[in-house]
Structure 1
Amino acid sequence: MSEVYVVGYDLNKPGQNYAGLMEELKKSPSWWHYLDSTWLIYTKESATQLRDRILNCVDNSDRLLVMEVTKNYSGWLPQEAWTWISNHLI
Structure 2
Amino acid sequence: MKPYIICYDLNIPNQRYEDLYAAIESLGAYCKLQKSVWIVKTSKEPSQIYEILAKSIDKNDDIFIAELADSYYGWSHKENWDFLANHIF
Q: Fold match, TM over 0.5?
A: yes
SS in 2 for 1:59: coil
SS in 1 for 2:44: coil
Alignment-derived partner of residue 33 in structure 2 = 34
What is the CA–CA distance in structure 2 between the aligned matches of 1:65 and 1:17, rounded to whole Å? Answer: 17
Aligned residues: 88
What is the CA–CA distance in structure 2 between the aligned matches of 1:17 and 1:79, rounded to whole Å? Answer: 29
Q: What stretches of structure 1 of length at least 5 have no aligned partner?
A: none
Tell me the amino acid that sits aligned with residue 22 of structure 2.
E
Q: TM-score, normalised by structure 1?
A: 0.88
Tell me: CA distance 1:21–1:52, structure 2 relative to 1, closer, same or farther (3 Å).
Answer: same
> Are 2:9 and 2:63, in contact at CA under 8 Å, matched by a contact in 1?
yes
What is the percent sequence identity of the aligned residues?
25
Q: CA-atom RMSD, angstroms? A: 1.3
Alignment-derived partner of residue 12 in structure 2 = 13
SS in 2 for 1:77: coil
What is the CA–CA distance in structure 2 between the aligned matches of 1:53 and 1:34, rounded to whole Å? Answer: 20
Q: What stretches of structure 2 of length at least 5 have no aligned partner?
A: none
What is the CA–CA distance in structure 1 between the aligned matches of 2:14 and 2:53, rounded to whole Å? Answer: 19
Deviation above 6 Å: which 4+ runs of structure 1?
none
